[in-house]
Amino acid sequence: MASSYLSIWGPVVEQIHHYLRQQYPKEGCGILAGHDQEITHFFPIPNLDDSPHSFSFEPQAYLETIRQLRELQLEWIGVVHSHPTTEPYPSARDIANWHYPEKSYWICSLKQGHCRLSAYYIRHQQVIPVMYQIIVNR
Ligand SMILES: [Zn+2]
């Protein structure tokens, strides 16, 4: 079972915020990776939907990222995407489209101008919030 407590490096949070703001007003997305529930890397992936309301990974970039994870011996821990104008909570579409109960699901809301980042597990259509800590001195 995946841990209910995650860690993420401060600089990774900065990278996520920076990238997702660049994609605004469209949704941006990417993969989070690291070791032992500690996220040390963010890999942006172009949003094939090119939409403010949904995302799907561009397949070539997705495959390239999976290859990189293997090469760097990183675990795929989660995904992140932005909600440009809504709360950081999974939409009905998000829940229906997610099929990885063991991977964490991060959403960054840009609704209030700054990024508000929340993490969840989605299992059997159930949304389970996950606590996380930001490790600043990395
Ligand atoms: Zn969403």
User: What one-letter code names the amino acid at 83?
Assistant: H
pTM beyond 0.85: the answer is: yes
Taken as a whole, the chain contains a residue count of 138
Expressed in angstroms and rounded, the spacing between residue 92 Cα and the centre of ligand 1 is: 8
Expressed in angstroms and rounded, the spacing between residue 61 Cα and the centre of ligand 1 is: 20
Query: How far is residue 10's CA from residue 101's CA, in Å, rounded to a whole number?
Result: 25
- Taking only the tens place, the pLDDT of each residue in 95-137 is 999 999 999 999 999 999 888 999 999 999 999 999 999 999 8
- Taking only the tens place, the pLDDT of each residue in 39-50 is 999 999 999 999
**CATH number of 126's domain:** 3.40.140.10
Expressed in angstroms and rounded, the spacing between residue 112 Cα and the centre of ligand 1 is: 16
Expressed in angstroms and rounded, the spacing between residue 29 Cα and the centre of ligand 1 is: 10
Tokens standing for 20?
A: 């997702």
Expressed in angstroms and rounded, the spacing between residue 1 Cα and the centre of ligand 1 is: 24
Expressed in angstroms and rounded, the spacing between residue 90 Cα and the centre of ligand 1 is: 5
Count of domains for the chain: 1
Expressed in angstroms and rounded, the spacing between residue 9 Cα and the centre of ligand 1 is: 23
Domain that holds residue 21: 5-135
- Tell me the C-alpha to C-alpha distance, in Å, between residue 34 and each of 9, 24, 78, 103: 10, 26, 9, 12
Write down the pLDDT at residue 114: 86
Expressed in angstroms and rounded, the spacing between residue 60 Cα and the centre of ligand 1 is: 21
